[in-house]
């Protein structure tokens, strides 16, 4: 009988949930040997949600976040032989085990299984425990948000951007709203169909979550849902919705300034402008070591900044180029390997709003949002001079450059290059064997893992699978 990673992911669900809620399960673990029984009451749902967040962390804090930086053009990478990221840095994709494609595909599918199980059983738990309906709704809303992430992130990696065909009819990834059985072989949906499912989940989540400003940045909120809407619409080039949802996510909040901005990364007690970030308590983060020893800011990136730019404090350490966004010096529980990756923050929403406004011809709005980013970085006087150097027609160049500078090493670079339909051009001194790839290219997506193709007769490979 053929089995793929999706079936095997079922085994991970209870393990992660049990680990994440040891206090509860030490009392009521007996008899909870199946997923239906485990997710049969609100406490079980809450334990399952912890497991879902842990699985989400496992994929987001690993190869998935490294990939768009290593494949992009703003990093200087020194990777050891055998590193899972080496083949992507040199664009020699490998569909076999222990590669970038393998880890991203398997870990996102594992996270998706966890979310699907909660989504499946939450309605019956709510019906059985009406006095805890609000709690069940919040858990369901968060699980729907996590599933939306899984579909969106998987399609960004294994399919060409939404706008690469006029109707987004090119191959995406399977749409999985329930975990397949051992005899199921799900086929790839179109990219449009995947996006439709993302919107379906986000729309449901927005009706269940009520916090327009996140009460707790470590949990999915309505603010995070609105931020996700904005990001997805931006990739679709649906500029009006990207703008509208960015404004909703901003919720009239200003950007973090000065010390508060820097401390958002270096002091994990500081919320800063984070809308949604992952809690690394008791987790072994993988990004700190990666950006300390293997992946450095390229000279091309450093050259974009004014010498007084506050963001340089996050890209230099002791006079050496180094990303310190994952190298917190103040950690609440004193766990040296803890890192709390930021998924959404206000700066991205300001940048989304600026890009969308420019494409709508709303140049005044575009200037207002991008001015806030530049002013925070270099001060009001310099910001005015920078803005004065751009006409409405070429303001998009500043918006894109500021996006590169602001969001570097946060999992955006390569995805932005491809959705902007740009050639990949790295600095001439790059340590990669690849300095330039013209758009479009089959190399701009990863191959479907070999084990998935061998297990699933309906899975169509990508052009670069051979």
**pLDDT band, residue 24 (cuts 50/70/90):** very low
The mean pLDDT value of the chain amounts to 92
pLDDT (0 to 100) of residue 26: 28
Residue-wise pLDDT for 189-201, tens only, equals 999 999 999 999 9
Rounded percentage of the chain residues whose pLDDT exceeds 70 = 93
Query: Other CB atoms closer than 10 Å to residue 221's CB: what's the count?
Result: 27
Q: Which of the pair, 332 or 225, is modelled with greater confidence?
A: 225
Q: Which of the pair, 179 or 118, is modelled with greater confidence?
A: 118
Beta strands in 225-272 (DSSP E): none
Q: From the DSSP assignment, how many helices (H) and strands (E) are in the chain? A: 20, 8
Least confident of 23-32, 209-218, 382-391: 23-32
pLDDT (0 to 100) of residue 31: 35
Residue-wise pLDDT for 328-360, tens only, equals 999 998 898 899 999 999 999 999 999 999 999
**CATH architecture assignment, domain 210-407:** Alpha Horseshoe (1.25)
pLDDT (0 to 100) of residue 201: 98
pLDDT (0 to 100) of residue 4: 55
pLDDT (0 to 100) of residue 36: 87
Query: Other CB atoms closer than 10 Å to residue 450's CB: what's the count?
Result: 17
pLDDT (0 to 100) of residue 415: 98
Rounded percentage of the chain residues whose pLDDT exceeds 90 = 84
Residue-wise pLDDT for 71-129, tens only, equals 999 999 988 877 778 889 999 988 887 789 999 999 999 999 999 999 999 999 999 99
Beta strands in 217-341 (DSSP E): 274-277, 295-297, 316-317, 320-321
- Taking the C-alpha atoms of residue 85 and residue 219, their distance in angstroms, rounded to an integer, is 29
Q: CATH 1.25.40.390 in the chain: give the residue spans.
A: 38-162+174-208+411-433+441-448, 210-407
CA distances, 180 to each of 175, 235, 446 (Å):
11, 29, 23
CATH 3.30.70.360 is held by the domain 38-162+174-208+411-433+441-448? no
Whether 270 shows a pLDDT value over 80: the answer reads yes
**pLDDT band, residue 35 (cuts 50/70/90):** confident
Number of residues that this document lists for the chain:
466
Beta-carbon contacts of 376 under 8 Å, excluding residues fewer than 6 positions away, are 255, 256, 257, 261, 310
Whether 363 shows a pLDDT value over 60: the answer reads yes
Whether 247 shows a pLDDT value over 50: the answer reads yes
**pLDDT band, residue 28 (cuts 50/70/90):** very low
């Amino acid at each position: 009988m053929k089995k793929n990673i999706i079936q095997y992911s079922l085994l991970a669900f209870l393990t992660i949930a049990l680990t994440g809620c040891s206090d509860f399960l030490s009392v009521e673990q007996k008899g909870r040997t199946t997923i239906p029984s485990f997710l049969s009451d609100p406490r079980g749902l809450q334990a399952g949600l912890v497991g879902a967040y842990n699985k989400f962390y496992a994929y987001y804090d690993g190869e998935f976040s490294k990939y768009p930086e290593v494949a992009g053009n703003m990093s200087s990478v020194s990777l050891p032989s055998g590193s899972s990221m080496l083949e992507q840095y040199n664009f020699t994709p490998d569909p076999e085990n222990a590669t970038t494609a393998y880890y991203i595909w398997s870990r996102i599918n594992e996270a998706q299984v966890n979310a699907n199980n909660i989504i499946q059983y939450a309605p019956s738990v709510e019906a059985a425990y009406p006095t805890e309906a609000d709690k069940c709704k919040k858990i369901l809303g968060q699980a729907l948000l996590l599933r939306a992430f899984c579909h969106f992130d998987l399609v960004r990696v294994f399919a060409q951007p939404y706008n690469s065909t006029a109707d987004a009819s090119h191959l995406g990834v399977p749409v999985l709203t329930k975990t397949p059985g051992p005899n199921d072989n799900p086929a790839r949906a179109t990219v449009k169909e995947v996006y439709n499912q993302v919107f379906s989940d986000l729309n449901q989540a927005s009706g269940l979550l009520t916090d327009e400003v996140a009460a707790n940045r470590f949990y999915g909120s309505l603010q995070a849902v609105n931020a996700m809407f904005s990001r997805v619409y931006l990739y679709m080039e649906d500029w009006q919705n990207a703008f509208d949802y960015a404004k909703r996510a901003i919720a009239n909040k200003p950007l973090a300034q000065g010390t508060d901005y820097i401390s958002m990364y270096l002091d994990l007690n500081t919320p800063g402008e984070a809308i949604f970030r992952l809690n690394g308590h008791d987790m072994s983060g993988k990004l700190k070591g990666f950006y300390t020893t293997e992946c450095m800011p390229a000279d091309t990136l450093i050259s974009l900044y004014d010498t007084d730019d506050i963001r340089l404090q996050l890209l230099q350490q002791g006079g050496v180029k180094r990303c310190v966004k994952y190298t917190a010096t103040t950690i609440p529980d004193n766990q040296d390997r803890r890192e709390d990756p930021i998924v959404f923050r206000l700066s991205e929403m300001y940048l989304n709003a600026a890009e969308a406004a420019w494409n709508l011809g709303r140049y005044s709005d575009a200037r207002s949002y991008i001015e806030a980013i530049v002013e925070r970085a270099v001060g009001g006087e310099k910001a005015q001079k920078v803005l004065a150097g751009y006409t409405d027609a070429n303001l998009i160049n500043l918006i894109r450059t500021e996006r590169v500078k602001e969001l570097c090493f946060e999992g955006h670079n390569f995805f932005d290059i491809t959705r902007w339909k740009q050639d990949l051009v790295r600095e001439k001194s790059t340590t990669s064997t690849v300095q330039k790839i013209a758009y479009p290219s089959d190399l701009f997506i990863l191959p479907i893992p070999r084990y998935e193709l061998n297990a699933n007769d309906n899975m169509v490979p990508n052009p670069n699978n051979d």
